[in-house]
Amino acid sequence: MGSQTHTRSWAEVYQAFKNPKVIALLFLGLSAGIPILLIFSTLSVWLREAGVSRATIGFFSWAALGYAFKFIWAPLIDKLPVPILSQILGRRRAWLLVSQFLIILSLLLMATSDPNQSLATLATFAVFLGFSSATQDIVIDAYRIEVADTDLQGIMSSAYIAGYRIGMLVAGAGALELAGFFDGGNGYDLAAWSKTYMAMAIVMVIGVVTTLIISEPKSVTQNDAHLKSSSDYFQFLGCFLCATGAFIVVFLISAGAVDIAKTRLTNDLFVASRLASFMVETVRLSFAVIGAALMCYILITTKFVPKNVITETYLGPFTDFFKRYGKTALLILALVSTYRIADVLMGVMANVFYIDLGFEKQEIGRISKGFGLVMTIVGGFMGGALAVRYGIMKALMVGAVLAAASNLLFALLAIIGNDIIVLIVVISADNLSAGIASAAFVAYLSSLTSTSFTASQYALFSSIMVLLPKILAGYSGVMVESVGYEMFFIGTAAMGLPVLVLIYLVAISDRTV
């Protein structure tokens, strides 16, 4: 329980890197890193070449909302077996295989789509890909936590991050290179993009083979969380589907009211259009969540689904966490929600900052994909090694210090101006610190979870992790316009100081020493 680990020698750290479980996480990380860019930047290039408007391309980013809300269906991964397949492979491997086949199917369906003929069809398949990919992430996170002891989580997370980055490189720069090769440099060619997405589906076979080779975690086979009967199974699944349907219906039918509310706020109350949009969309999302909760309440009161099943599935992860950590749980949640603030808030403005300094897009891309990628992978393995050698909390502290300090280098670059050498140093240092912090933090989140609710709790923690930073990041442009780049970067570095205090307070508590 907690993040307690014993100190290991450097020789033991080296041996840990050679562990087959660690190597398996490298390939699973690659499998997880491939789909994300095929929904975002790579798909955006395809759509833009096809003549789709920028506004419409922006809406396509919603296809990845599954990543932000994966905690909603994570309990299904914890509770429900895959018929037949779970008996053959085990629950985690069965779900992993299903999600990977769904990703491959999504990519093949996207490959057969033409955005100029039916943009809605391509959007539907992109949403399908986002849902399937988020499901794979849920299972891989649970598998990583259950397959190794807490003191190995640093190494496991660093291998996963390295594989994830490689997967993103394959689906980003690799996919664009393929598309350029297939179209022969003659401009937009639908067949070229179709072949590219088919090629990405083939690359996903690496994940499938890895799933078939690895073994099921013992904690799952010994403490299976299946529902008690097939009746519970279908009632629980039906409740989830009905609640999801209610969420979608409320969200869609409120579209007209949303437009009216935005106009009123902008014109009548003189609220800035972006702020008005944010306020209204937040209310809209809240009503959709209330609609889903109301549907669950109706199904429980009508005894369509037993109350204890829903309580155990959705409230169980919360009560288990607070029962294990007591009052310290609030400190932990505060740490989880603020640890990434410094780098997330800065990261939104980073590329804009480079452009404003006069750097060329090609320079930025080559340095970030070259030096940046290498330093992220190196940093990830350094973070994992530090977690194994000195313990997770010390690695967490080092990561937080470096992440905040690297922001000061951006302030220095703002003073120096357009200098390619300084840019290389800044991007390298930023990616190195991000790699260390990410590996240590993933290991810490893994240590917080209970094997009874692995998928549910980790999905919840990972959502809390990005919620506050992402909200604040939306105002990063306003901050820059108000105080300038130099003070903005100094301010984001200062935001890391409360994080250091929280790490110290959590570390000295009785349950996490």
The separation between the first and the last C-alpha atoms of the chain, rounded to the nearest angstrom, is: 11
What was the pLDDT predicted at 335? Answer: 93
CA gap 9, 358 in Å, rounded = 47
Nearest to 217 by CA among 381, 120, 96, 313: 96
Question: Is the pLDDT assigned to residue 484 strictly greater than 70?
Answer: yes
CA gap 184, 176 in Å, rounded = 12
Contact 387, 441 (CB under 8 A): no
What was the pLDDT predicted at 499? Answer: 92
What was the pLDDT predicted at 95? Answer: 95
- Residue 61 belongs to what H/E stretch? none
What was the pLDDT predicted at 222? Answer: 45
| Range from 36-40, 173-177, 301-305, 434-438 that averages highest in pLDDT | 434-438
Mean pLDDT (whole number) for 294-304: 84
For the stretch 99-124, what's the b/e string if a residue is b when 16 or more beta carbons lie within 10 angstroms of its beta carbon? Answer: bbebbbebbbbbbebebeeebeebbb
pTM of structure: 0.76
pLDDT in tens, 161-185: 889 989 988 998 888 889 889 988 7
Question: Is the pLDDT assigned to residue 268 strictly greater than 70?
Answer: no
- CA dihedral for 180, 181, 186, 188, sign (positive or negative): negative
Mean pLDDT (whole number) for 116-121: 89
Among residues of the chain, what percentage have pLDDT more than 70? 84
CATH 3.30.300.10 assigned to 1-224: no
pLDDT band, very low/low/confident/very high, at 300 (cuts 50, 70, 90): confident
- CATH class, domain 315-513, is mainly alpha
Instruction: Return the minimum-mean-pLDDT range out of 63-72, 193-202, 289-298, 476-485.
Output: 63-72
Q: Which residues contact 40 (CB under 8 A, 6 or more apart)?
A: 61, 64
Q: Which amino acid, one-letter code, is at 325?
A: Y
Contact 154, 114 (CB under 8 A): no
CA gap 476, 256 in Å, rounded = 29
Nearest to 345 by CA among 140, 454, 496: 496
Residue entry with tokens 């992978």: 377
What was the pLDDT predicted at 490? Answer: 93
What was the pLDDT predicted at 512? Answer: 44
Instruction: Return the minimum-mean-pLDDT range out of 87-96, 106-115, 376-385.
Output: 376-385
pLDDT in tens, 29-85: 999 999 988 987 788 889 888 888 866 776 676 666 667 678 778 888 887 888 899
pLDDT band, very low/low/confident/very high, at 200 (cuts 50, 70, 90): very high
What was the pLDDT predicted at 223? Answer: 46
pLDDT band, very low/low/confident/very high, at 1 (cuts 50, 70, 90): very low
Q: What rounded mean pLDDT belongs to the chain? A: 82
Contact 80, 237 (CB under 8 A): yes
